[in-house]
Structure 1
Amino acid sequence: MFVVIDDRQGVVNGYAAGFDREGIVSIGFSSTDFRDWLECAVSTDLGAIGAFILGDCPDRTSLPHSIRTKSPAPIIALNGMKRLNQTIELFEAGVDDVVHAPVHVREILARTAVIRRRTIGSGDRPATSEIRVFLDGRDPEIGGRTLPLPRRELRILEYFVGHQGRWLTKTQVFNSIYGVFDASFDENVIESHVSKLRKKLRGHLGYDPIESKRYMGYRLGDLRSRATGEPDPSTHS
């Protein structure tokens, strides 16, 4: 889920439509409403956020610090004017990237993927990768072969890889894929998506890499999985 913060409702609506076309859930806030929500947001809500998109608002140089106290998700600032002093000010405020607006949501996804690749799976990894996700809309490579996936199954796999080795509740997965404010679907829809995903992964790998346990949820096991772009430990002495 992407969070767009901008005091211009038309801008918020425009990016929401763009994310929707890419199969990405988003929610828009004015800066005041966002601060109110951030103050009371619970960890399951915050854990579902893929990135914060910081647009035009009077306090946007103070918002990154408030966000960082609650969430490690990437913060991408939209800058309508290419002014060096504004760009430097935003980076000094704590954003991860600054892009010139307007910008296509695919570019936002690509930039978010680059930021996330720096943080996902920073620990030791085996020599080869069995599951590779690209975090920018491309289909994953499973066992060395591309596996076409529906968008929601792809998002679930990306979420599992990003939290590899951790148990994820059905609520956490649901919030990540459908957003924390969507009441039009029941959480149980996740069971269907994960079941289909496991069957496809099993067909490519010869075994099921996803564990499930009652009351605990799902976990992508300690496999050779990584987001593309990370260095292979075997190439370093």
Structure 2
Amino acid sequence: MRLLVIEDEPDLASAVAEHLHAHGNAVDIAPDLAGATAALDGADYDLALLDLHLPDGDGIGWLRGLRRSGVRVPVLIATARDRITERIAGLDAGADDYVVKPYDLDELTARIGAIRRRHDGRCEAERRFGALRLLPERQAVFLGDVPVRLTPKEWAVLERLSRREGVTVTRAQLEDTLYAFDAEVESNAIEAHVSRLRAKLGRQAIETVRGFGYRIGRA
């Protein structure tokens, strides 16, 4: 997934980004609301993690404006504000979920995954494509009953392709899923990940749609 962390505490932002990146996500950091707005204008994000107390304004008002403008990116508020009235205000402003600092990073990852599944209309615990089985909650992959070990980026490619069966995902969309703004992307990076996935899952697991991109097949 491509995630945006909107957080002005550098150490916390770095720790969250490092944790999310280790789980196969591309992560950009915005230290203020102006940076967050610019980032959302420049890329398609799967989710934004929003602190509320930021140097150039309050996150609640910014989120309301975001929703009024028609931006539907999922938003998970992560803040030290813990009063019930503040939680309600955040959810009423258009947030998809709300966690209070200090939070557990593994729980944060689970909440992000749950939000994305709701938005994708896929709340099931398992996705099946022939003999291929994906368990998004565990980031686990099986061919029949045999577990298949994937790298975080291989998992990210496969998970992105599996969100909607039969839908072609472009190379640019896959790059957005895997790489942050400041990352150097080799010209054949996506092809290399797909090739390794086919070696592990079978040639038919991922189909090439010439001139467009890739879609998940039947392993």
> How would you bin the TM-score normalised by the shorter chain?
0.7 to 0.9
Q: Does 1:32 align with 2:34?
A: yes
Map 1:116-131; keep pairs closer than 5 Å: 116-121=116-121, 130=130, 131=132
Report the alpha carbon displacement of residue 27 of structure 1 after superposing the two structures with TM: 0.9
Distance, in Å, in 2 between the alignment partners of 1:65 and 1:110 is: 25
Q: Following TM superposition, by how much is the alpha carbon of 1:148 offset from its aligned partner in structure 2, in angstroms?
A: 1.4
Residue matched to 2:189 = 189
Within 5 A, what are the aligned runs for 1:125-140?
A: 130=130, 131-136=132-137, 138-140=139-141
| Separation (CA, whole Å) in 2 of partners of 1:81 and 1:218 | 43
Q: Give 2:99's aligned amino acid.
A: V
Partner of 1:151: 152
TM-score (norm 2): 0.81
2:100 maps to 1:100: yes
1:47-67 CA distances to partner (integer Å, 9 max, x unpaired)? xx2321001323311333455
Percent of pairs with identical residues: 25
Partner letter of residue 61 of structure 1?
A: I
How far apart in 1 are the matches of 2:179 and 2:187? 9
Which residue pairs with 2:206 in the alignment? Answer: 210
Closer, same or farther: CA 128–6 of 1 in aligned 2, 3 Å: closer
- What's the offset of the Cα at 1:120? 2.8
CA contact (8 A) 1:7 1:31 kept: no
Residue of structure 2 equivalent to 1:51: 47
Q: Which amino acid is 1:34 matched to? A: A
The answer to whether residue 218 in structure 2 is matched with residue 219 in structure 1 is no
**How many residues matched?**
209
Aligned AA (1:156): V
Q: State whether residues 20 and 26 of structure 1, in contact with CA within 8 Å, keep that contact through their aligned partners in structure 2.
A: yes
Distance in 2 between residues matched to 1:109 and 1:90, nearest whole Å: 20
2:167 & 2:128 partners in 1: Cα distance? 21
Match of 2:149, SS? coil
Structure with the larger strand share: 2
User: Mind listing any 5+ residue stretches in structure 1 that lack a counterpart?
Assistant: 225-237
Label 1:52 to 1:212 Cα distance change in 2 as closer, same or farther (>3 A).
Answer: same
Structure 2 CA distance for partners of 1:59 and 1:135, relative to 1, 3 Å:
farther
Corresponding residue for residue 88 of structure 2: 88
Shift of residue 153, structure 1, vs aligned partner: 0.6
- Report how far residue 78 of structure 1 moved: 0.8
For 1:35, the aligned partner's letter is T
Please tell me whether the aligned partners of residues 110 and 135 of structure 1 are also in contact (alpha carbons under 8 angstroms). Answer: no
**Corresponding residue for 1:234?**
none
> What letter corresponds to residue 59 of structure 1 in structure 2?
D
Q: State the superposition RMSD in angstroms.
A: 2.7
**1:167/1:219 contact within 8 Å kept:** yes
Q: Whole-Å Cα distance in 2 between the matches of residues 70 and 220 of structure 1?
A: 30
Pair 1:88–1:65, CA change in 2 (3 A): same
1:146 counterpart SS class:
strand
3-state SS in 2 of match to 1:27: strand
